[in-house]
Amino acid sequence: MKLPIALSNRHVHLSQADIETLFGAGHELTHFKPLSQPGQYACEEKVDLVGPKGTIKGVRVLGPARPSTQVEISLADGFALGVKAPIKESGDIAGTPGVKLVGPAGEVELQEGVIVASRHIHMSLEDAKNFGVEDKQIVKVRTFGPRAVVFENVLVRANANFALEMHVDVEEGNAAAVRNGDMVELIAE
Chain segment 37-82, per-residue pLDDT in tens = 999 999 999 999 999 999 999 999 999 999 999 999 999 999 999 9
> Residue 189: which pLDDT band, with cuts at 50, 70 and 90?
low
| Beta bridge partners of residue 111, listed in sequence order | none
The three-state secondary structure class of 18 is helix
Residues 90-107, mean pLDDT to the nearest whole number: 96
> Residue 178: which pLDDT band, with cuts at 50, 70 and 90?
very high
Residues 19-30, mean pLDDT to the nearest whole number: 97
Residues 177-187, mean pLDDT to the nearest whole number: 97
Whether the Cβ atoms of residue 105 and residue 22 lie closer than 8 Å to each other: yes
pLDDT at 171 over 80: yes
Is the CATH number of domain 120-187 2.40.40.20? yes
The distance from CA 153 to its chain's CA centroid, rounded to whole angstroms, is 16
Look over the chain and give the mean of its residue pLDDT values, rounded to a whole number.
96
The distance from CA 95 to its chain's CA centroid, rounded to whole angstroms, is 18
Alpha helices (runs of H) in 63-102, residue ranges in sequence order? 75-81
Residues 163-169, mean pLDDT to the nearest whole number: 96
Q: What pLDDT score does 188 carry?
A: 78
pLDDT at 138 over 80: yes
Cα separation, 30 vs 178, in Å, equals: 30
CA atoms within 13 A on the CB side of 64: 3
Domain boundaries along the sequence of the chain: 9-117, 120-187
* DSSP conformation class of 29: P
Cα separation, 54 vs 80, in Å, equals: 6
- Whether the model clears a pTM of 0.85, i.e. scores above it, the answer is yes
Looking at the chain, the whole-number percentage of residues with pLDDT higher than 90 is 96
